[in-house]
Amino acid sequence: MGCFSWMFADTDNEENLKYGHEFYVPQPNGLPTLHDTFYDCYGHCDGADIYDLVASWNREYLAKHPEHILPASGQKVSGRRWYKYYADYENYSESDVCMKVTQEIRQNPGYEDYYGFDWREIGIAIACEDKNNAALPYPIKVCKYNVPYESVGLSLGDDAQGC
């Protein structure tokens, strides 16, 4: 997998997050802002994975809205292999979802070499494309400065991939 990055939401997507630079990831619903002094270009911030975070932030909403369309593909979120477990957040933890999806994938022909499904893959499915991220109630917002989540728009993907 190659490097990837985002544009800074608090610069109106005019500047990009570059490898080795400092940045912030504000979180919705009063969760603390994450801060890192060195971007590794793989979506990590302060020990967290940004795609893991966006999957968690939007879980309750997507569970209640199975008709939510992923605009980049035009597919309903409920059509994804992981959705039935992801949507049942009262009975399945993040690790339970990953275990169940991994079991299903291993039982299907053609996936014999697939070792495991992780929570990050849900975040990538729902937010990697700018159109998908924009359609979420809690999109990814990467910032140059420490600002509240609600005060800025979303971050667009960085075509320069952190360069």
pLDDT for res 114: 62
The pLDDT value given to residue 147: 98
Q: Is the pLDDT of residue 116 over 80?
A: no
Residues 12 and 131 sit within 8 Å (Cβ to Cβ)? no
Compute the distance between CA of residue 96 and CA of residue 116 in angstroms, rounded to an integer. Answer: 12
Whole-number Å distance between alpha carbons of 104 and 97: 11
Residue 70 CB neighbours (<10 A)? 20
- The residue extents of the domains of the chain are 9-151
The rounded distance, in Å, linking the Cα atoms of 18 and 161 is 8
What would the DSSP string read from start to end of 38-102?
Answer: S--SSSEETTEEHHHHHHHHTHHHHHH-TT-EETTTTEEGGGSTTHHHHS-TTT--HHHHHHHHH
Local structure of residue 21 (DSSP, 8 states): -
Tens of pLDDT, residue by residue over 64-80, are 999 999 999 999 999 99
How crowded is residue 95: how many other Cβ atoms within 10 Å of its Cβ? 10
Q: How many CB atoms are closer than 10 A to CB 150?
A: 9
The model's confidence at residue 115, banded by pLDDT at 50, 70 and 90, is low
Of residues 116 and 22, the one with the higher pLDDT is: 22
